[in-house]
Amino acid sequence: MQDFLNRIEQRALNIGVVGLGYVGLPLAVTFAEAGFKVTGLDVNAQRVDELNARDSYIADVPSAALAAQVEAGRLSATTDPGAIAEMDVVVICVPTPLSKTRDPDVSYILAAAEQVSRHFHPGMLVVMESTTYPGTTEEVLLPTLAVNGAEVGKDFYLAFSPERIDPGNETYTLTNTPKIIGGYTETCGDIASALYRTICEQVHRVSTCRAAEMVKLLENTFRSVNIALVNEVAMMCERLEIDTGEVINAAATKPFGYMAFYPGPGIGGHCIPVDPHYLTWKLRTLNYQARLVELASEINAAMPEHVVRLVVDALNEHSKSAKGSRILVLGVAYKRDIDDVRESPALDIIRLLQARGAEVDYADPYVPSVSESLAAAMSSVDGVPGICAGYDCVVVCTDHTEFDWAAIIDAAPLIIDTRNVTAGREDPHIVRL
């Protein structure tokens, strides 16, 4: 153990990052900036080529920062899993999606674990950052790694450290967001903590990998439940003819016992729409139904349908049918000022409007084209706000700061606002969530 700690201090370790997406690429660059030699491993050859060409494909990682580490010889990438044999540390940052039945898909974790096992050598530290259900590290990863009688905590080290990447967040980054570490043994936790202290200002230890896995699910389930609550409050306020934003802002003046959440067209990104399902699935295997968590997911998943109903009702009030109407969706990224469309509710809204016969366009300065979950690929239209006048309805799905909201509100003949960008305006052509 002490030798490993000394090598951390001396930056004499080769670190491998498996999976070079929104989590893996920032992590690889940050470890390289801390002085380690880092090799990124990904099955996507295009990502590997772009990294080696010093070109960042993740908005949160400036190309200049990536290029500096590549040019210094501290960072490189490969598609060859054989490189794992030269790594002292392997951090697994692969996707953990849901299956079509909304069950956890751990196939990417298994594939990564099998590659590590195939090229295993004594003394390795393996850390998993991919979000998953409590017990995955112990039940799935450990048996794959414990080959030829290798003993965890002695022959190799194993830990779980949930990623806390928030795309587009310039205030809380990888380095100043506290890092959760759960080691399989005390020694595993000590070594993993020492490693992450080289890049994170604060490390918080928990007792087990299982506890660390649960931390991540609690964080995002907390958000899912509270978003569902405020989404339901918005539907209540609609029926009570009360301004939802006014109520939330007034409640937020209370300095204790309340945290403001805001309604929206649904939830997006990889975490909040997915993570609660990992938790409820695991609990079902233990004969327990997480009723509140499941209900929150149902409410949030139903929000795109609710938004479409608002559009249809508003068009009817203007003596128009959804069928044949020209509708402009503003923003398809799942949140403000990023290019990430994973699980974006805007795509569901587009699909549902198209199913009702509407002619739908979208505009998003961060997303030039999109095909995910749509019947056909679409490209962003230019000319906002001027073009808004040519549509029967404008639906605000993402409140990008690049949009001139005042001009859009003035130009649109009818606007469905799911992000409260029209706050303070009481024009008759505005319908707020």
Please say which residue of 160, 190, 207 terminates a domain: 207
Question: Which residues, in sequence order, are CB contacts of 75 under 8 Å at separation 6+?
Answer: 28, 29, 32, 38, 39, 40, 51, 66, 69
Instruction: Provide the pLDDT for residue 149.
Output: 83
Q: Is residue 259 part of a domain?
A: no
Of 155, 188, 207, which marks where a domain is finished? 207
Q: Is 271 a catalytic residue?
A: yes
pLDDT at 270: 84
DSSP alpha helix (H) spans, 171-208:
186-196
**Confidence (pLDDT) at 102:** 82
Query: What are the tokens at 340?
Result: 């990430």
Would you say residue 283 lies in a domain?
A: no
Counting the structural domains of the chain, the total is 2
Phi, psi of 382 (to 5 degrees): -100, 170
Query: How many C-beta atoms surround the C-beta of residue 51 within 10 A?
Result: 27
**pLDDT the model gives residue 244:** 95
Tokens for 354, please give them. Answer: 């198209």
Residue 394 φ then ψ, to 5°: -115, 125
84 plus 199 within the same structural domain: yes
Provide long-range contacts, Cβ within 8 A and 24+ apart, for 45-49. Answer: 45/79, 47/20, 47/21, 47/77, 48/20, 48/77, 48/78, 48/79
Domain end among 152, 173, 207: 207
Q: What is the CATH number of the domain that holds 374?
A: 3.40.50.720
- The token duo for 65 is 């920062």
Residue 193 sits in the same domain as residue 309 = no
Is residue 6, in this structure, part of any structural domain at all?
A: yes
pLDDT of the residue at 17:
98
Containing structural domain, residue 121: 2-207
Series of mean pLDDT values for 10-residue runs along the chain (433 residues): 95 98 97 98 97 95 97 98 97 91 90 94 96 95 87 96 93 96 98 98 98 97 97 96 95 97 94 92 96 96 97 97 98 96 96 97 97 91 97 98 97 97 93 94
Between the CA atoms of 227, 228, 232 and 233, what dihedral angle is there, to the nearest 10 degrees?
Answer: -30
Among 93, 188, 271, 393, the one annotated catalytic: 271
192 and 325 together in one domain: no
Other residues' Cβ atoms within 10 Å of the Cβ of residue 60: 19
Are residues 200 and 316 part of one domain? Answer: no
Q: How far apart are CA 305 and CA 198, in angstroms?
A: 46
